[in-house]
Amino acid sequence: MPPPEIAPGRLSPAEIERNFADLHPPLSKSEALIAADRCYFCFAAPCTTACPTGIDIPRFIQSIRSDDIEGAAYAILSENIMGGMCARVCPTEVLCEEACVRNVHEDKPVDIGLLQRFATDPILEAGTQLFERAAPTGRRIAVVGGGPAALSCAHRLACLGHGVTIYCRDGKLAGLNEYGIAAYKAVDDFAQREASYILSIGGIEVRTDVALGRELSLDSLRRGYDAVFLAIGLSGVNRLGIESEDMDGVIDAVRYIAELRQAADKSRLPVGRRVVVIGGGMTAIDVAVQSRLLGAEDVTIVYRRGREQMGASRYEQELAQADGVLVKHWARPARILGEARVAGVEFECTREGADGRLEGKGEFFTLPADVVFKAVGQEFSVDGANGANPALRMENGRIAVDAERRTSIENVWAGGDCAKGGKDLTVVAVQDGKLAAQSIDHYLRQRQ
């Protein structure tokens, strides 16, 4: 029985619905035409260079200008089949829109993300199929994982004529798009609608609730399929490494967000009155903001370094602050306070030492809290792939891959957050899946 400080229904259902509405409402046609008109159609456009999937942005914006929405959508989706989700969740302010040359003389980029959504929404809405499968190759590939890297890889392989089986640990596809990102960034069940659109190409079989290391082994997949793509994400959660961190009321932010995303009625979710979030990345921001939107009174993010080092973009930080979240820098948790349940956190002030390493200043302060969220990153849990013969080579705690996303084992590829270089971004995962699919296709055709 949680204490009264942790209660559902702090806000009325109507208030919660309003709070969790679309963060950036879609552009109207007039708005889109005006926004599109601002694109200069740059040579070797810096926005395209900045896009991890290399979408030809001036090309699709030109199609919006000329009212060829299908042409615009094809330009986007042929490079990034999750262009719809990326239009919603990409940190465009540090990717394409940061690179926009408009920033140089007027400090306001073209609204690339919103235009991308304008172009892709109608296609997904209508289920317009823009891709055609090549003649069947008879090859079969196992894709392990259900998130962006897996879906991207599966789609590209299907387009190339291969047969794909997706093995997904969760009950639903789309990975962190479904279970992880903030609810107000993908309203109206968008993650599932996008996954359905991707599957509509055909040739992709989906098996849910099966996991590597549980029902599946890498060795048996390698034997049963022509190739294997691993996109199993980061299932482990980093620990704070301090006293009492398993105390009641200290919650893994990733797990809480997943519950929130799956809740049929958000007004029934328990919410703390005073919430402390430890971490500085997107997960920290998302759990803090969503706690506020659910009615938490005081929400404080505490990050061990400064504003510039935070994983969350400046825009995301400002978004949190606009929603009433207090962000404190240069402090790290020293101790969880409380008896049976958490009552607060003691922090030690920090600074950067001469060698660049973080060091405590020996000054302490305490924040009272009913709920403490741990959002200090996830790690790759190697369990599932353990026991493979030969063993997967790892690098910095993730699966080592080359530029084509090949692992150290023949006929096994990996991508997304579980692979070296994964940046915990949907758009990067999509690119991994695409590159791996192309590499797999090349490999299989060479072996004919």
448 is a site residue for another protein (CB under 8 A): no
CB of 47 to another protein, least distance (A): 11
CB of 56 to another protein, least distance (A): 14
Return the half-sphere exposure (C-beta side, CA atoms, 13 A cut-off) of residue 344. Answer: 7
89 is a site residue for another protein (CB under 8 A): no
70 is a site residue for another protein (CB under 8 A): no
- Find the binding residues for another protein in span 388-417 (CB under 8 A): none
54 is a site residue for another protein (CB under 8 A): no
**Which phi and psi angles does 235 have, rounded to 5°?**
-95, -15
237 is a site residue for another protein (CB under 8 A): no
**Which phi and psi angles does 337 have, rounded to 5°?**
-100, 150
Q: Which is nearer to another protein, 65 or 140 (CB)?
A: 65
Q: Which is nearer to another protein, 69 or 385 (CB)?
A: 69
44 is a site residue for another protein (CB under 8 A): yes
Q: Which two tokens mark 39?
A: 């694109």
CB of 115 to another protein, least distance (A): 12
305 is a site residue for another protein (CB under 8 A): no
- The window from 102-110, 173-181, 373-381, 387-395 that contacts another protein (CB under 8 A) reads 102-110
Q: Which is nearer to another protein, 36 or 154 (CB)?
A: 36
Specify whether the CB–CB gap between 245 and 379 falls below 8 A: no
Say which amino acid occupies 410: E
356 is a site residue for another protein (CB under 8 A): no
* Closest to 230 in 3D by CA, of 401, 396, 78, 85: 401
Of 21, 28, 41, 126, which lies in the binding site for another protein, with binding defined by CB under 8 A? 41
Return the half-sphere exposure (C-beta side, CA atoms, 13 A cut-off) of residue 36. Answer: 26
Cα four-point dihedral sign 168, 170, 173, 178 = negative
Strands 250-252 and 274-278: unpaired
- The window from 40-48, 217-225, 234-242, 259-267 that contacts another protein (CB under 8 A) reads 40-48
CB of 102 to another protein, least distance (A): 7
Strands 342-352 and 358-368: antiparallel
Q: Which two tokens mark 271?
A: 């919410």
263 is a site residue for another protein (CB under 8 A): no
62 is a site residue for another protein (CB under 8 A): no
Q: Which is nearer to another protein, 11 or 69 (CB)?
A: 69
Q: CA 371 to CA 235: how far, in whole Å?
A: 22
List the alpha helices (DSSP H) in 22-134.
Answer: 29-37, 46-50, 57-65, 69-77, 83-89, 96-99, 102-106, 112-126
3-state class (DSSP) for residue 247: coil
Structural element, H or E, at residue 438: helix 426-446
107 is a site residue for another protein (CB under 8 A): no
46 is a site residue for another protein (CB under 8 A): yes
CB of 57 to another protein, least distance (A): 13
Q: CA 278 to CA 373: how far, in whole Å?
A: 6
Binding mask 10-39 for another protein (x = CB under 8 A): --------------------x--xx-xx--
Binding footprint of another protein on the chain (CB under 8 A): 30, 33-34, 36-37, 40-46, 65, 101-102, 104-105
